Amino acid sequence: MSDAAELARRCAETLYARDRAAQHLGIEIAEIAPGRARLRMTLTGTMVNGFDIAHGGYLFLLADTAFAYACNTHDTVTVAAAADVVFVAPARTGDVLEATAVERTRYGRSGVYDVTVRRVQDGGVIAEFRGNSRSRDERVLPPGVPGEAKNAGSAEGPSPQR
């Protein structure tokens, strides 16, 4: 495992230990890599609306959580500056959903991430999410834990697309 992959894993573990919302909803980390996250959640009966389909807020929450984990893989506390979602297809109670977040670019203290939410059972796309991030001058890992907190991107412009 590369140093960057190890750092991403440790950041995700640290974040998850503090993330009561993700824990409460049963969100699981399926994969973490630098600038990437894949999370899973099973829709329960309390997550559906009056039409017996997934409440959009839960779909947004899953996508936003994957976005947060992908943003924070570089050991710099990074938060959402803006986000939007397009609901593509309904999901129902019992569906296992997987949100895959991918870093598109980081520049200065900002970044752009895309998240696709799919139904694991058939691979169908449920939602597409785009998030804009903003980094703060804080580390994800606790003080004294080795890591490499660096300011996102560089003054020279955006990082390459992935």
User: CB–CB of 41/97 below 8 Å?
Assistant: yes
* pLDDT tens-digit map of 8-31: 999 999 999 999 999 999 999 999
Give Cα separations from 17 to 13, 36, 40 (angstroms): 6, 18, 16
Which domains are assigned to the chain? 3-135 (3.10.129.10)
* pLDDT tens-digit map of 143-160: 877 665 544 443 333 333
- Non-local (6+) Cβ contacts of 89 within 8 A are 119, 124, 125, 126
User: CB–CB of 99/85 below 8 Å?
Assistant: no
Q: What is the CA radius of gyration of the chain?
A: 16
Among candidate residues 24, 31, 59, the one with its CA nearest the CA of residue 43:
59
Q: Is 42 helix (H, G, I), strand (E, B) or coil?
A: strand
pTM of the model: 0.89
